[in-house]
Structure 1
Amino acid sequence: MAEIKFCEQNFSEGAEEVIEKLKEDGISFEVESCLSQCGECSMGPFALVDDDLVQGEDADDLYEKIKELI
């Protein structure tokens, strides 16, 4: 299974919605206080999947991209 990480600072950009969907699907992930991706963090929801940056236009887009990778 892929390692998925979210940044707490990105919750307001939509990451929290993605986290809730992943929880419903039973998919594990980590939440860290900061992932040092400040530029991407301010542009929209993102996650690190196996340490690769995955950026979404919105929460639904990010969720679909993550699902494709795992």
Structure 2
Amino acid sequence: MPESRHVEYCQRNVPDRARSRLERLPDTTREKRCLQRCGTCYSSPFVVVDGDLRVGSDHDELVGALGGEAGERE
């Protein structure tokens, strides 16, 4: 069985509908107040997976790349 990834995201960067999709992933997800990536947070949708920054054009793309179900576009 593959190990669970650790997915972290800033509470201000991820809208509610994307947050609910992230929480349904089979991975460990953590919402944090701040991930100390302010420049990225202000400019792009992002998550941090096992310590690696992942940036996308929108949160739907990010969740899909993590294997989550597609949702409505952000």
Query: CA contact under 8 A between 1:54 and 1:65: conserved in structure 2?
Result: no
1:49 aligns with 2:49: yes
TM-score (norm 2): 0.71
What residue ranges of structure 2 are gaps of 5+ in the alignment? 69-74
Measured in 2, the distance between the counterparts of 1:27 and 1:59 equals 16
1:34 matched residue in structure 2: 34
Instruction: Give percent identity, aligned residues only.
Output: 28
Q: Rg: which structure is higher?
A: 2
Q: Where is the helix percentage greater, Structure 1 or Structure 2? A: 1
Measured in 1, the distance between the counterparts of 2:65 and 2:26 equals 17
Aligned length: 65
TM-score (norm 1): 0.75
Measured in 2, the distance between the counterparts of 1:3 and 1:27 equals 6
SS at match of 2:8: strand
Deviation at 1:25, TM superposition (A): 4.4
SS at match of 2:43: coil
What residue ranges of structure 1 are gaps of 5+ in the alignment? none
Q: CA RMSD in A?
A: 2.0
Task: Name the CA shift for 1:17/1:45 in 2 (closer, same or farther; >3 Å).
Answer: farther
Deviation at 1:64, TM superposition (A): 1.5
Deviation at 1:44, TM superposition (A): 2.0
